[in-house]
Amino acid sequence: MDEDYRAFGRFIETRRKELGLTAKKLADTMGVGTPYMSDIENGRRYPPEKHFDTLAEILQLDEAGRLRMIDLAACARENQLAPDIVGYVRKTDLARVALRKARKRGVPNDVWERVIEMLDEQYPDQGGEGGGV
């Protein structure tokens, strides 16, 4: 079984248990069946993007937790970006160019940290998704 798939499921299961929710209660609140929720937690299924906001709300995730959940969900599917950035990358040619150059050259994390710092300085968060590091 794909470990990335399981990491997403473990994240959901751990948070659900921290809140004292049963899988049935979580499934009912989301409007899905208990077997479906069990499949998600056990890495056999991947929830559609339409469930992310509801799931984040039910699990009482802060913005960092919501973004972590989205990233784990993307990792659960091979060759897929996190759903919250797919549209931006698709419509922004230079973002794709920059990412391809970075991949080809093996750009390390410290360079990306400087890019993020530059973005934060030049384009401060306007109350939207900060994303953080």
List the chain domain ranges.
Answer: 3-85, 92-133
Q: Is residue 5 within 8 Å of 76, Cβ to Cβ?
A: yes
Q: What is the pLDDT of residue 18?
A: 97
Contacts of 85 (CB under 8 A, 6+ apart): none
**pLDDT tens by residue, 57-116:** 999 999 899 989 988 887 777 666 777 787 888 888 898 889 889 989 999 999 999 999
**pLDDT tens by residue, 14-51:** 999 999 999 999 999 999 999 999 988 988 887 777 88
Architecture of domain 3-85: Orthogonal Bundle (1.10)
Please report, for residues 12, 36, 82, 83, the alpha-carbon distance to residue 67 in angstroms, rounded to integers and kept in the order given: 13, 22, 9, 10
**Around Cβ 63, how many Cβ atoms within 10 Å?**
13
